[in-house]
Amino acid sequence: MPDIKIAARDGGSFTGYLAKPSSGRGPGVLVIQEIFGVNAVMREITDGMAKQGYVALCPDLFWRQEPGIQITDKTEAEWQLAFKLFNGFDVDKGIDDLKATLDHLRKTDGCTGKAGTMGYCLGGKLAYIMATRSSADCNVSYYGVGIEGLLGESAKIGKPLLMHIAAQDKFVPPEAQKKIKDGLAGNDHVSMHVYPGVDHAFARVGGEHWNAPAAILANQRTAEFFRKNLA
């Protein structure tokens, strides 16, 4: 599948990996990257969503720092680069880029116009923010990092949000998880699932903390969620 160009709202452009279903038509899913760029893992996830019948698009959110980053979680040097890019990432500009991508996706040939988001790690945090700041029809957050500091925006969640939380997440400790659970309790738009005994990135195929049973269950819940909210 091709990389395409997306116009940024403040000028310039960035790339995104586009995958379409065999039928050529379906709702949209905006796939939001981890801290390793639009790498093989994210492309496989995007392809997987296309196989489920969605027009899927994964944008390069690190383009303002270093366009085209595609690294893995296998070496210390790659981790250091990933954290450097993460620490240099401007969240507000990233959300602007995701909104531009959402607009582009909805206008993409074959997209029905309905579109949701799905993000992992950094992308899980951004999916939460898209639930509070964008017009996405629904949003899915996998082990988002830093959401406990964004709960003041939760009243703005007006569309369905599905959250997958790793109980043993080394980047989201128990006190942060409690804040998230307490802060979102009673919000009818939010569904939350906690996966016991698993660490951050339990759904990253081939990753150190990959956990097949938890990943399969989370992905099944995501598939059902999208079928319900993007039909």
- Model confidence, pTM: 0.97
3-state secondary structure of 83: helix
- Quick check: is 169 catalytic? yes
Give me the mean pLDDT over the 205-215 stretch: 95
CA dist., res. 138 & res. 18, Å (int): 19
CATH numeric code, 3-230: 3.40.50.1820
- For strands 55-59 and 13-19, give the pairing: antiparallel
From the list 104, 164, 200, 209, the catalytic residue is: 200
Beta strands in 49-177 (DSSP E): 55-59, 111-120, 139-142, 161-166
Give me the mean pLDDT over the 106-130 stretch: 98
Give 2's pLDDT tier (boundaries 50, 70, 90).
Answer: confident
CA dist., res. 110 & res. 101, Å (int): 15
Task: Indicate the DSSP class of residue 229.
Answer: H
Question: Please, how many CA atoms are within 13 Å of residue 152, restricted to the half-sphere of its CB?
Answer: 1
Lookup: tokens for 229 = 């909210």
Tens-place pLDDT, residues 25-84: 999 999 999 999 999 999 999 999 999 999 999 999 999 999 999 999 999 999 999 999
- Quick check: is 189 catalytic? no
From the list 104, 169, 199, 209, the catalytic residue is: 169
Q: Tell whether the model's pLDDT for residue 203 goes beyond 80.
A: yes
Tell me what the pLDDT averaged over the chain comes to.
97
Q: Tell whether the model's pLDDT for residue 99 goes beyond 80.
A: yes
CA dist., res. 141 & res. 120, Å (int): 6
As a whole number of Å, the end-to-end CA separation of the chain is 24
CA dist., res. 29 & res. 129, Å (int): 16
Give 218's pLDDT tier (boundaries 50, 70, 90).
Answer: very high
CA dist., res. 130 & res. 97, Å (int): 11
3-state secondary structure of 212: helix
| Residue 231 pLDDT | 86
Domain spans of the chain, in order of start = 3-230
Tens-place pLDDT, residues 160-176: 999 999 999 999 999 99
